[in-house]
């Protein structure tokens, strides 16, 4: 009702949706996908098709994750501004994408690429690029990975798994395509 009190300018529109859980999940999960988009950008020369494929698979995994772990999610939420529009915006210009691009460019220079080295690199990038702000994608990636691992569902979410393994296990950034081009299991697609 508070939003109804505001006059919308002609170039701005507020859409209310009832799916609070879906909107919040989209807000967290899109940051993980944005890390992947930054990895693609950091490779250089991968082109728009690779990034578009990453967004497509990312949206698919976001939708499947919500269908797996939340009851009553409205599938239409993923086509709202809090879903697809926010995903696109974040994957093309957000801080998670920008920092992941810097990570992708810096990672090959590290001799040791274990979880401690990766955590330090993320911290250094955050401190250098974000002026006190924090990345949400790295935290979300850790939490989502832990949940999927505990439920033995990592193979059902190849993009989320690959993003985590690059970000925290120091796997080569070039492996981001493994998460994009692996066909998700039929069991995952049946949840959509």
Q: Catalytic residue positions? A: 30
Torsion over CA: 102, 159, 43, 91 (sign): negative
| Token reading at 92 | 């093309």
- Concatenating the DSSP letter of every residue in 54-117 gives HHHHHHHHHHHHHHHH-SS--GGGGGSIIIIIHHHHHHHH-HHHHHHHHHHHHGGG-S--SHHH
Cβ contact 118:168 at 8 Å: yes
């Amino acid at each position: 009702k508070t939003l109804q009190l505001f006059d919308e300018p002609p170039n701005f529109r507020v859409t209310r949706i009832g799916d609070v859980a879906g909107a919040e999940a989209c807000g967290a999960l899109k940051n993980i996908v944005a890390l992947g988009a930054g990895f693609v950008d950091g490779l250089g020369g991968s082109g728009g098709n690779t990034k578009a494929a990453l967004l497509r698979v990312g949206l698919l995994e976001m939708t499947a994750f919500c269908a797996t772990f939340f009851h009553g999610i409205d599938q239409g939420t993923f086509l709202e501004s809090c879903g697809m529009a926010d995903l696109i915006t974040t994957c093309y210009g957000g801080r998670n994408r920008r920092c992941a691009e810097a990570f992708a460019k810096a990672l090959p220079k590290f001799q040791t690429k274990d979880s401690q080295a990766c955590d330090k690199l993320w911290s250094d990038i955050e401190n250098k690029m974000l002026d006190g702000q924090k990345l949400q994608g790295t935290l979300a990636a850790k939490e989502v990975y832990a949940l999927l691992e505990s439920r033995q569902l990592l193979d059902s979410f190849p993009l989320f798994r690959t993003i985590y393994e690059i970000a925290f296990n120091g796997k080569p950034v070039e492996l981001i395509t493994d998460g994009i081009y692996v066909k998700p299991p039929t069991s995952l697609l049946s949840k959509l």
